[in-house]
Structure 1
Amino acid sequence: MKKMMMIAATTTSLGCLSSAHAQSSVTLYGVVDAGLTFNSNAKGEKQYAMTSGNASGSRWGFRGNEDLGGGLSTFFRLEGGFSSTNGTIGQGGTLFGRGAYVGLASKSYGSVSAGRQATIQYDFISPYPSGGTWAASGIGYGTHLGDLDGLDNFNRINNAVKYLSPSFRGLQFGADYSFGGVPGQMSQKQTWGVGAQYLNGPLALALAFNESYQPNYSFFGSKANDSTTGNNITNPAVSGYATARTQQIFAAAGQYAFGKATFAFTYTNTRFDDLGNVSVTGLGGKPAAFRGNAVFNIVEGNLMYQLMPALQLALAYTYTHNGNANGVGPAIYHQVNVGADYFLSKRTDLFVDAFYQRAAGTDSTGGPAVAAITGATASSSNHQIVGLVGIRHKF
């Protein structure tokens, strides 16, 4: 009888352990991406290079969740980027630069998370532009100039709290707030945003707004090796606006799927206000002299076509208008992205992309606008072509 009771007790104990294990999980995952890139004009020279994180940023990470009962669960994510070409840490030397956060989720009330994470604007708008989906979203070639509107997740936010609501018949909304952490200056270096999306079968729509104070240090300067005094905005189309007191981004997007084709549309309005308000070393010359406001209006059309179950073709066009500060003439940029993606399996694909950009007018440096495809060395002239072929594996 005693032996039978011990066996029963042991079985019950093991059953409880199995049940507890079934209610929580931790997953190791990642992406390894490598390719060959050609740049027709890298400061006046042709450039051939092996590049990492092309179609997707190379990364590794852990994610997990635990069921707490009553419709409540906890979750976490630790995700770091790296270079597949030399093994170095990505995101400016930030170990978990792609994300480090923990939170609680309720089936009835939504989720709250805290840590380093993407903006709510990225969550809701990035599925629509080509630079956030198929057009070399990892390295950024298809991204809007310098990712100035934050749709390709180049710029994550630190010390952030984010709320995401449940979906109400396809409608979802959310908000985020990043604490600046400056003693006595609550608004300094802070960011905040709100957004909403509506998903209903083949139709999807989204809106978002984001505001950053001292964006050179809060929005663009959120990585470990970023400067606390110098310019963290490297793209010449935007770098002259590092002295802005605030950056405001409004974004609207939508898409409709019909048959094998999906068409997406994106519009963003980005303002750099009160130029000259923030001290930035190393600017010098005309960029530091800009005063007033600079405004970017960007429109993109993005068409994806599933030619075969394993083959996707895509085409996108982006028009960018920069209404410069100080009454300086505007800068205008045209960019065309073309791509093909062939899936060898669910986790491995081959891709080829090409990008063409033409610039005109006066850019943020106060000089003639040059082509400056995001993620590539800027051109010495007003036009530039970048080509890419690569392989990606997800695990």
Structure 2
Amino acid sequence: MRHLLIGLGATAGCLFANGAYAQSSVTLYGIIDIGIQRASNVGGHAQTQETSGMFNGNRFGLRGNEDLGGGWQAVFQLENGFNGNNGTFGQGTNASGTTAAVTRIFGRMAWVGVKSPWATLSMGRQYDFMYDFASIAVSNYVGSFMHRPGTANALLGNNGSTTDFDRIGGARVDNSAKLTSAPLAGFTLGALYGFGGQAGAFSNGSTESFGLKYENGGLLANAVWTNLKEANSLSSYRTYGAGARYQFGPVRVSTMYTNARWTATGDRVDTIEFGAQYLITPAFSVAAGYFYSKPNNEKKNVIMQGTRNQVGFTTLYALSKATNVYATVDYQRAKHGYSAQIYTLSPSDAKTNHQTMVGVGLQHFF
């Protein structure tokens, strides 16, 4: 018996030693954001309703890593979006290359990868590099209603999903491999390829995305190009852009330009925007944003019709490190006789060329 106990003790010691070497960790995190909004001119009438994700999209997720030794790590992230009003899943769009509706358990992200001292390689459902603009875009200051109308989703087959025509709101790419370098002298490079998965037609339905980021002190700058090739290979949906953000003291300012183009018709939309945030106190901030979107072939453009101007203002107060209350106002005007359409409202909602949205909300981070 004594020899058996010694043997068991030695085995347990080896297991504990290996566990100490691995040093793995898993973190549960999320955002719950719900508010009350009042939108003017919805079918010709004002509408008041409870809204999920008015400032940040609701989500919960798991992220983790395991130390493999020598500066290498195994990493993963699983993230689900949900509607805070009724608890339903978010991102329940069609799967890549199919017409059948699916329920995604982790619709925002589902990937696993290996991180080295030089780069990270990840595979699964993940964002293309246009999403890097999310921290520069005016929606970062004044909420999701400063995203563009989600018309591009109806244009062509999804490889993942799109939420707005230039993809900065977070387009995910299914079946993708993504390589991101470690920062070097402030520069980070990245490349993504989403596999189309068609037999005998390797590139059909595929996605390519490339990003360059520079970060130094208070400066953050990005340049990105993304190409989604349609499943029939006849055309592509291409987006590119460049932007910068600068923080000096309590003030943060940003500017950005994006171009979205569908090669099937030659239609494109150019967007330029500006945003600023001022921290009056560490807990209280005010922010403003403006964007201008102009389509070519304005009367026939299938991406978006009508040149649009939109402004937004937000004030936010942090009750704690994890809980905020906020109020936001957005106003959009469409030119040349087209109806305004603030993000998340359907194209037929507004009956005139202008629309206003006022909202108050509460968000909690965990």
- By the TM > 0.5 criterion, same fold? yes
Q: Does the CA-based 8 Å contact 1:120-1:162 persist in structure 2?
A: no
Structure 2, gaps ≥5 residues long: 93-102, 151-163
Write out aligned runs for 1:59-138 (5 A).
59-92=59-92, 93-107=103-117, 109-123=118-132, 125-131=133-139, 133-136=140-143
Please point out which of 124, 142, 147 is paired with 2:146. 142
**2:24 and 2:236 mapped to 1: Cα distance?**
42
What pairs up with 1:146-225 in 2 under 5 angstroms?
Answer: 146=150, 147-153=164-170, 155-214=171-230
Judge conservation of contact 1:141–1:376 (CA < 8 Å) in 2: no
Answer yes or no: is the 8 Å Cα contact 2:283–2:318 preserved in 1.
yes
Q: Which amino acid in structure 2 is aligned with residue 60 of structure 1?
A: F
Q: Does 1:33 align with 2:33?
A: yes
Counterpart for residue 311 of structure 1: 284
State the distance in 2 between where 1:326 and 1:389 align. Answer: 36
Number of residues paired by the alignment? 337
Question: How far apart, in 2, do the equivalents of 1:43 and 1:326 lie?
Answer: 22
Alpha-carbon distance in structure 2 between the residues aligned to 1:145 and 1:25: 39
Q: Whole-Å Cα distance in 1 between the matches of residues 191 and 33 of structure 2? A: 32
Counterpart for residue 383 of structure 1:
354
Name the amino acid aligned to 1:27: T
Deviates more, 1:193-202 or 1:178-187: 178-187
Question: Percent identical across equivalent pairs?
Answer: 34
Among candidates 358, 372, 386, match of residue 333 of structure 2: 358
The aligned amino acid for 2:195 is: F
- What whole-Å deviation, never above 9, does each CA across 1:5-42 have from its counterpart, x for those lacking one? 67974783474165146x10112221111110111011
Normalized against structure 2, the TM-score is what? 0.86
1:346 positional shift:
1.1
Q: TM-score, normalised by structure 1?
A: 0.80
Aligned partner of 1:280 in structure 2 is none
Aligned equivalents of 1:272, 1:112: Cα separation in 2: 30
CA change 1:327–1:369 in 2 (3 A) is closer
Does the CA contact (< 8 Å) of 1:39 and 1:376 recur in 2? no
Distance 2:12 2:90 in 1: 48
Assess, with a 3 A threshold, how the Cα gap between structure 1 residues 244 and 85 changes in structure 2: closer, same or farther: farther
Q: Deviations over 1:257-307 (max 9, x none)?
A: 1221111000011111123xxxxxxxxxxxxxxxxx112111101001111
Contact 2:298 2:306 in 1 (8 A): no
Q: Provide the residue aligned with 1:270 in structure 2.
A: 260
Unaligned runs of 5+ in 1: 219-242, 276-292, 362-367
**Residue deviations 1:53-73 (CA, integer Å, cap 9, x gap):** 222111111111111111111
CA distance in 1, matches of 2:129, 2:217: 22
1: distance between equivalents of 2:70 and 2:206? 35
**Residue 334 (structure 1) aligns with:** 309
Over aligned residues, Cα RMSD in angstroms? 2.4
CA distance in 2, matches of 1:322, 1:48: 31
TM-superposed CA distance for 1:245, in Å, is 2.2
Question: Structure 1 residues 184, 18: CA separation in 2 closer, same or farther (over 3 Å shift)?
Answer: closer
